[in-house]
Structure 1
Amino acid sequence: MNMAITDGVVFAPPAFAADNLGVFSRGDGTPGSSTYANLPTAAFVPADQDFGGCLEIQKTDSTQRLRYMGQTPMFPGTYLQVTIRIKAVAGSLPSVRIAGWAGDAGGNQISGVTTTGPSVPLTTYGKVVEVSAIVGTGTRGGVDMAWGPQAAYGHFGLDLTGASGGVVRIDDIRIEDVTAYFLRDMLSFVDVRDYGARGDGTTNDSPAFSAADAAANGRRVLVPAGTYYLADSVEITNRIQFEGKVSMPADAILSLTKNFELPTYIDAFGGDEELAFKKAVQSLMNNSDHESLDLGGRRISVTAPIDVRGAVPNRSSYAQRRVIRNGQLRAEESTAWNEEVVTSQATYSANNQWKLTNVTNIANIKKGSYVEGAGVGREIYVKDVNLGAQEITLSQPLSDAVGTQSYTFTRFKYILDFSGFDRLNVFEIEDVEFQCGERASGIILAPLGTVNVIRNCVFNRPAKRGITSPGDGCQGMLIDHCQFISYEGGTLTQDRVSVALNTNANDVKIRNCRASQFRHFAVISGSHAIVSGNHFFQGDPSSNGVRSAGIVICLRACNTQITGNYIDNCFIEWTNEREPEPDFTGGFGFAGLSITNNVMLSSSVASWFSYIVVKPYGTGHYINGMNVSGNTFRCIGATINRAERVDTSFANLTFQSMKNVFFTGNTYHNVSKGAENPLLVRHSQASGAQTWVVDTDDRLPFNGYAMEVESLVTRSRPRDGNNVSKYHMPYTSTREGSGQDQVHVIWPEDMRGDVTLKVRMDI
């Protein structure tokens, strides 16, 4: 780069002449300053043997100044070398230095900058000495006078210092563009140092970065070696290359709009991957120029939970679609992953079902803590903490905890922790592997939020949880094509503690995921969920082994579809453990669960194992809408009694109240009693009897009552004891026998024959 050549810019003053000494100032060179015209102690010498034409000056002032009064232009990224040849001819020998006056675009003097070059003594009469200095906007090696990006022009010349009275002769002042000393010709980037960046780690280089970006105009911005402190938020709109690094306050945002991917942020922050990730996420949620953060396939070593709200301190809630994608977050060995466990006494009331009150030691209880205690259902978390009121808001009501008791609050540590936000909507995580390493859990959501998405992610060996919802941040959440890999594969099922995911709010979709050997795959507390296309398996090597629930539905009126899944060595459990009443009685019933077209497999299990388990808490509960159809139930290496059952640990179902229960089109392999409803029963009566006792053979779902006969068809000729055909119309009586699962077909006289009935266990 040479602006004198490429742009025709004139930097050098005119040569000294007898008629132009009025443009050379004895002061600072600004308009109105005294000149050398008609000065008795100065004259133009037309024919010096060394210089040709030159200016002769007698030093009369303590600092004798010579400045060209023309404005020599200054440009960011351009460096000028000012050179003067001088010799002493008589009298005292002074020292000489290049000097200048710095002006900004408004004509004001710039203060606080260096305006003189190195001083050189004149030691011999008649010896020509060349003195030079380099001036520019940037602070770079070899630059004597760095004036910063605000410099627009200068008045250049020299100073004579030292003893007065001596006479010197000065050759013409040369000013040359020496930018090529610092930058190669045809350079495709601008250097932040040319715009005043110091890179010393303390000077605020934010203005210099912004100025360099403004000047780049499509070229790259170069950040050379050094540490550049950016005290303010900076947005770079051109591509940028980091050889040095930056440091920033936590609330200052670095937005790299043309290089918005994690590898560039890692370069920007000197290889600190964890800090770079936080600053990139901060920019993601504060800039409209990019909707996603690409991790560039990088593995990020994480030494402590990433508090996303802490990384974005200016946002308490967020509701614009943003995506983090394509990388790996790896939990490294650190005590920061240690769980925080607090034991406190608290009071629970059925009239205040979402709160714990009078909580002792509440200051030590963290939002998002897992709650344990008598009458506390599975996957209950602290949604909020009110220190002043000594109250805790729960993610779900408790089941049987009315009164005052001790609770344990355990705060698991998550690689990505969103719980500090009040609300987070439409946030997506895609193609990210969470390498938890048995140290950390995966993700904890915000307490409120809608339509967040976790897609194509892998949760590898989470310590306790893959995805945790501590409140309603899972409303409408989509979990698609994710893999959950437990570290508890060699642990007996009953001893496992890890859970792949839980939800609390409605409208969740869990689709096409794979989960291996957790305690539970999904604990679902909201309604209108869709669980489809997943494969989750939870077996262990033990014979007659215990199996745990793969899916736990914690809401009676769940309106949930479970379809097309591969349910392997685990079962679907439907409970009402979120019921707030102390006695759990009555209600609308277990309603709205559809289990269709699933592959259900078990091996080496106890005979009492079942694939569908309803577990009522309290009395008076019944099924008020359930569809089980098109499923394949298969057991290998054992035979189980039935595919469905009631867990009567707390209570049984009220069978006389069952409604809208459909078990149709299922296939059973090594299942002794394949349930159907309506159940097709064939009965043959070989001996004459007025009352035919028809047994349903324990094949009504859940060992239910024979409540209704949907149809009765005679399959052979009804006949009396004399083998005479009779055309009587029988009637039926239901709920017969000790188990109320028999039907009596009643004739007006003793009859023989064959009938087929469709019997229902619901009304």
Structure 2
Amino acid sequence: MNKVITEGLALMPPVFSGGLDVWSSGDGVPGSDTYDGAVSAALVPADADFGGCLELQKTDATQKLRYIGQTPLLPGCYLQVKARVKAVSGALPSVRIAAWAGGFGNSHIGGVVETGPSTTLTSYGEVVEISAIIGTGARGGVDMPWGTSATYGHMGLDLTGATGGVVRINDIEITDITSAYLRDMLSLVDVTDFGAVGDGSTNNAPAFEAADDAADGRRILVPAGSYYLDDTVSLNHQVVFEGTVTMPTDKMLLLTKSFDFPTYAAAFGDEELGFKKAFQALINNADHESLDLGGRKVSLTGPVDMQAAVPNKTSYATRRVIRNGQIEAQSGTAWDTVTVTSQATYDPNDSRTLSSVADIANIPVGALVEGSGVGREVYVKSKNTGAGELTLNAPLYDAAGTQVFTFKDFKYMFDFSGFSALSKFGITEVELQCNSHCSAIRLSPAGSVFSLTNCFVSRPKDRGISSIGTGCQGILVDNCQFLSSEEPEDVPDRTSIALNVNANDAKLRNNRVTKFRHFALLAGGNNTVAGNHFFQGDSVAGGVRTAGLILASTYCSTTVSDNYIDNCFIEWTNEQDATPDFTSGFSFSSFSISDNVFLSGDVAPWFSYIVVKSHGSGHYLNGVSVCGNKFRSINGNIDRAERVDTSFAGLDFSRTKNVFFEGNTFHNVSAAVSNPLRIRHEQSSAAKTWTVDPGDALPFGGRSRGVDSVIALGAITTSGGSSRYAMPYADLEQGSNEDQVDLVWEEAVKGEVQLTMRMDK
């Protein structure tokens, strides 16, 4: 870069032989005295060393020599001023390059250095070269940094020291040496050319923005140093960070053309801080819809409070995504679970509130609630310290009265719970490597359509994704792997859960989930669970198994299809009902389980793949479809594929409606159940009443509530062999289990019939 060549700037002052009327004995400003006709100055036409030159006698304490013309100084340009001098006689002075800094309106720029290094002449006739560099920025080797306000200078030199001596001065040279400060083959604008100082304290926000304004398509360079920015800075060009920046938490660095994690990590010199500042910029519309981690690993020493990283936002509802990298938890006490025990009162009529909570100030929002009569995955959604009340994400099924509850605040890599609401936020192609130190994601109390796509949630200590409110509305979890930290543990010893959902419309699709205590608890309705493989076995012979998928609402309106459900089961429960006894509504209804592969091995014979567990009396099945599934047990038989867990209450099978359990296959399952159930009954001796016993073949141990058809297979005959053509009528719900059907004929007959009975109406 040379402005003399590229822009034709005139930098060189005229030679002395052209006349001394343009050479001032003052600062060089208009009106200052010149050396033209001065007795202390003379032109020498033929010096042996210099040829034509100026001879000057030092008569003042500081003898000035300045060119009256204005030598231009542009931002980013650096000028070298040189002169050759020798002493002729008298006292030996010191010599230095000097200049007067001027700005717009011919004003003087005060407070800047206007002299270069001084050289003392030590002998007569010895030629000494003096030089200094003048520029706008405080670059290395710059003797006179004038800042961006300077636009020109009156250049020259000073004689200092003893007076009376005579010196000769060769013509002064001014050259553009900006190229000395440029990287080879790079087009860069250096922030220090615009006044930035990397001392860690000077406010460099104006300099950064000035460099951005001047970049004109070039990249911006932040050289080595620590640059403090006390205000939000937006840079609209690519930026290269060799140095780092610091700034207040609430101020933002918006890198609109270099918006990626590697650049922010370089800018702040710290991965964790760089990630927080990049996220802050993402939520503040940094001209990008996603934060690209660039395939990098971000190491975290503690939980990231995602809202605290963006203090100017308490809610957000524009699509934003974090993508393409790995987040890794480093060991440390910052991940330790905080456990608080506190007495509180629960009233089922105010089903999501704990009142009169002792020590409420120490109970964190987002903590898991445990206690007598508390279902799984109940969290503190919010708290009112003044009123002594906690709001919960779900009701408690049997906790009326006052008791001591336990509150566990797990620590999460990404904690969004500080937002009041967050919608349309996604994480894709990211591995959340928890390393058994922490949990992965805690959602905001409200919001919709959070998505996790093509991600790994690896070894979470307690939870993969926790929803403490309705921030899970419409959640999408697709093509992810949840890898448990508890794989070596036997099933009863596992405590971790991959995810929970409180609101409606969850979509869990094509995920692989290994050996958690539970894969997912879904407390809302209208869910789709499809194409997943979740498995939870161990090596204990005849061992117990836990639920893989938990449906925690009676009217669940859910489809579970095309999954591989391995050594775990589907549990359908109402443990989040404040009044679990049935009083009104649809009861256990609207559930479709179709075309899944169910597999178990080395399990106790009472294990089942589908379990209904009512926490109150009076409930019944009302709209359930179980079709096209493959049930198989290896290394031992199981009694049945489905059952009712009566730990709290059974089901009312006198009210069962619309249950379809057909088209399934059973291998090493003793009870091949079906509804409608087709049974062959052979009556070998003549009787008026034939009792048809389905054995264990009605689903869930239901009653015989209907008969679709009865057809004779061959002749129906009397004991004497005479054929009869009359039809019997059916008496339903017979026997001690009310699952038998009596076929009553008009007379005693024998023969064989095929009967289709139902457990529903």
Fold equivalence (TM over 0.5): yes
In the alignment, the residues of structure 1 paired with residue 172 and residue 189 of structure 2 have an alpha-carbon distance, to the nearest angstrom, of: 29
Distance 1:278 1:718, change over 3 A: same
Aligned length in residues? 761
Q: Is the 8 A contact 2:506 2:527 kept in 1?
A: yes
In the alignment, the residues of structure 1 paired with residue 387 and residue 105 of structure 2 have an alpha-carbon distance, to the nearest angstrom, of: 60
- Per the alignment, residue 626 of structure 2 pairs with 628
- Aligned residue runs from structure 1 range 212-611, under 5 A: 212-270=211-269, 272-581=270-579, 585-611=583-609
Secondary structure class of the residue paired with 2:141: coil
- Per the alignment, residue 730 of structure 2 pairs with 732
Secondary structure class of the residue paired with 1:215: helix
- Per the alignment, residue 637 of structure 1 pairs with 635
Deviation at 1:701, TM superposition (A): 1.1
Deviation at 1:541, TM superposition (A): 1.3
Amino acid corresponding to residue 77 of structure 1 in structure 2: G
In the alignment, the residues of structure 2 paired with residue 107 and residue 608 of structure 1 have an alpha-carbon distance, to the nearest angstrom, of: 97
- Per the alignment, residue 189 of structure 1 pairs with 188
Deviation at 1:305, TM superposition (A): 1.2
Deviation at 1:336, TM superposition (A): 0.9
- Aligned residue runs from structure 1 range 89-168, under 5 A: 89=88, 92-124=91-123, 127-164=126-163, 166-168=165-167
Distance 1:407 1:33, change over 3 A: farther
Deviation at 1:90, TM superposition (A): 5.6
State, as a whole percentage, how many aligned pairs show the same letter.
59
- Per the alignment, residue 698 of structure 1 pairs with 696
- Per the alignment, residue 3 of structure 1 pairs with 3
Secondary structure class of the residue paired with 2:749: strand
In the alignment, the residues of structure 2 paired with residue 669 and residue 186 of structure 1 have an alpha-carbon distance, to the nearest angstrom, of: 73
Distance 1:721 1:187, change over 3 A: closer
Distance 1:691 1:267, change over 3 A: same
Query: Deviation string for 1:46-66 (max 9, x for gaps)?
Result: 555554444455545443333
In the alignment, the residues of structure 2 paired with residue 276 and residue 288 of structure 1 have an alpha-carbon distance, to the nearest angstrom, of: 15
In the alignment, the residues of structure 1 paired with residue 670 and residue 49 of structure 2 have an alpha-carbon distance, to the nearest angstrom, of: 119
In the alignment, the residues of structure 2 paired with residue 170 and residue 280 of structure 1 have an alpha-carbon distance, to the nearest angstrom, of: 58
- Per the alignment, residue 74 of structure 1 pairs with 73
In the alignment, the residues of structure 2 paired with residue 168 and residue 192 of structure 1 have an alpha-carbon distance, to the nearest angstrom, of: 41
Amino acid corresponding to residue 304 of structure 1 in structure 2: G
In the alignment, the residues of structure 2 paired with residue 133 and residue 184 of structure 1 have an alpha-carbon distance, to the nearest angstrom, of: 22
Q: Is the 8 A contact 1:698 1:741 kept in 2?
A: no
Amino acid corresponding to residue 265 of structure 1 in structure 2: Y
Matched, 1:679 2:674: no
In the alignment, the residues of structure 2 paired with residue 354 and residue 37 of structure 1 have an alpha-carbon distance, to the nearest angstrom, of: 96
In the alignment, the residues of structure 2 paired with residue 107 and residue 729 of structure 1 have an alpha-carbon distance, to the nearest angstrom, of: 120
Deviates more, 1:132-141 or 1:723-732: 723-732
Deviates more, 1:176-185 or 1:730-739: 176-185
Deviates more, 1:198-207 or 1:494-503: 198-207
In the alignment, the residues of structure 1 paired with residue 331 and residue 149 of structure 2 have an alpha-carbon distance, to the nearest angstrom, of: 49
Q: Is the 8 A contact 2:580 2:615 kept in 1?
A: no
Deviation at 1:128, TM superposition (A): 4.2
Deviates more, 1:51-60 or 1:489-498: 51-60
Deviates more, 1:439-448 or 1:622-631: 439-448
Amino acid corresponding to residue 8 of structure 2 in structure 1: G
Deviates more, 1:341-350 or 1:291-300: 291-300
Deviation at 1:207, TM superposition (A): 2.8
Distance 1:584 1:717, change over 3 A: closer
Amino acid corresponding to residue 566 of structure 2 in structure 1: D
In the alignment, the residues of structure 1 paired with residue 282 and residue 499 of structure 2 have an alpha-carbon distance, to the nearest angstrom, of: 26
Deviation at 1:186, TM superposition (A): 4.9
Query: Deviation string for 1:669-701 (max 9, x for gaps)?
Result: 111112111111222223222222111222111
Amino acid corresponding to residue 700 of structure 1 in structure 2: L
The root-mean-square deviation of aligned C-alpha atoms, in Å, is 2.2
Amino acid corresponding to residue 611 of structure 1 in structure 2: Y
Amino acid corresponding to residue 472 of structure 1 in structure 2: T
In the alignment, the residues of structure 2 paired with residue 625 and residue 111 of structure 1 have an alpha-carbon distance, to the nearest angstrom, of: 87
Deviates more, 1:336-345 or 1:74-83: 74-83
In the alignment, the residues of structure 2 paired with residue 117 and residue 731 of structure 1 have an alpha-carbon distance, to the nearest angstrom, of: 119
Q: Is the 8 A contact 1:586 1:619 kept in 2?
A: no
Deviation at 1:163, TM superposition (A): 4.3
In the alignment, the residues of structure 2 paired with residue 378 and residue 156 of structure 1 have an alpha-carbon distance, to the nearest angstrom, of: 81
Deviation at 1:111, TM superposition (A): 2.7
Deviation at 1:387, TM superposition (A): 1.9
Matched, 1:174 2:149: no
In the alignment, the residues of structure 1 paired with residue 33 and residue 470 of structure 2 have an alpha-carbon distance, to the nearest angstrom, of: 79
Deviates more, 1:145-154 or 1:165-174: 165-174
Query: Deviation string for 1:254-274 (max 9, x for gaps)?
Result: 23333333223333333x222
Amino acid corresponding to residue 276 of structure 2 in structure 1: K
Secondary structure class of the residue paired with 1:284: helix
In the alignment, the residues of structure 2 paired with residue 359 and residue 450 of structure 1 have an alpha-carbon distance, to the nearest angstrom, of: 30
Distance 1:506 1:32, change over 3 A: farther
Distance 1:106 1:611, change over 3 A: farther
Amino acid corresponding to residue 493 of structure 1 in structure 2: V
In the alignment, the residues of structure 1 paired with residue 403 and residue 581 of structure 2 have an alpha-carbon distance, to the nearest angstrom, of: 18
Q: Is the 8 A contact 1:95 1:120 kept in 2?
A: yes
- Per the alignment, residue 29 of structure 2 pairs with 30
Deviation at 1:321, TM superposition (A): 1.6
In the alignment, the residues of structure 1 paired with residue 339 and residue 255 of structure 2 have an alpha-carbon distance, to the nearest angstrom, of: 41
Secondary structure class of the residue paired with 1:66: strand
Q: Is the 8 A contact 1:587 1:621 kept in 2?
A: no
Secondary structure class of the residue paired with 1:613: strand
- Per the alignment, residue 15 of structure 2 pairs with 15
Secondary structure class of the residue paired with 2:723: coil
In the alignment, the residues of structure 2 paired with residue 376 and residue 150 of structure 1 have an alpha-carbon distance, to the nearest angstrom, of: 70
Amino acid corresponding to residue 565 of structure 1 in structure 2: N
Deviates more, 1:684-693 or 1:20-29: 20-29
Distance 1:592 1:185, change over 3 A: closer
Q: Is the 8 A contact 1:586 1:620 kept in 2?
A: no
Deviation at 1:645, TM superposition (A): 0.7
Unaligned runs of 5+ in 1: none
Query: Deviation string for 1:219-242 (max 9, x for gaps)?
Result: 333333222223333333333333
Secondary structure class of the residue paired with 1:278: helix
In the alignment, the residues of structure 2 paired with residue 424 and residue 98 of structure 1 have an alpha-carbon distance, to the nearest angstrom, of: 63
Q: Is the 8 A contact 1:400 1:583 kept in 2?
A: no
Q: Is the 8 A contact 2:254 2:286 kept in 1?
A: no
Amino acid corresponding to residue 23 of structure 1 in structure 2: V
Query: Deviation string for 1:600-620 (max 9, x for gaps)?
Result: 011111111111000001111
In the alignment, the residues of structure 2 paired with residue 116 and residue 370 of structure 1 have an alpha-carbon distance, to the nearest angstrom, of: 70
Amino acid corresponding to residue 206 of structure 1 in structure 2: A
Secondary structure class of the residue paired with 1:282: helix
Deviation at 1:80, TM superposition (A): 0.7
In the alignment, the residues of structure 2 paired with residue 577 and residue 173 of structure 1 have an alpha-carbon distance, to the nearest angstrom, of: 92
Unaligned runs of 5+ in 2: none
Q: Is the 8 A contact 2:370 2:407 kept in 1?
A: yes
Query: Deviation string for 1:575-626 (max 9, x for gaps)?
Result: 0011112756554211111100000011111111111000001111111111
- Per the alignment, residue 744 of structure 2 pairs with 746
Q: Is the 8 A contact 2:581 2:618 kept in 1?
A: no
Q: Is the 8 A contact 1:327 1:431 kept in 2?
A: yes
Deviation at 1:668, TM superposition (A): 0.8
Distance 1:106 1:681, change over 3 A: farther
Distance 1:141 1:288, change over 3 A: closer
Deviation at 1:88, TM superposition (A): 4.6
In the alignment, the residues of structure 2 paired with residue 154 and residue 17 of structure 1 have an alpha-carbon distance, to the nearest angstrom, of: 22
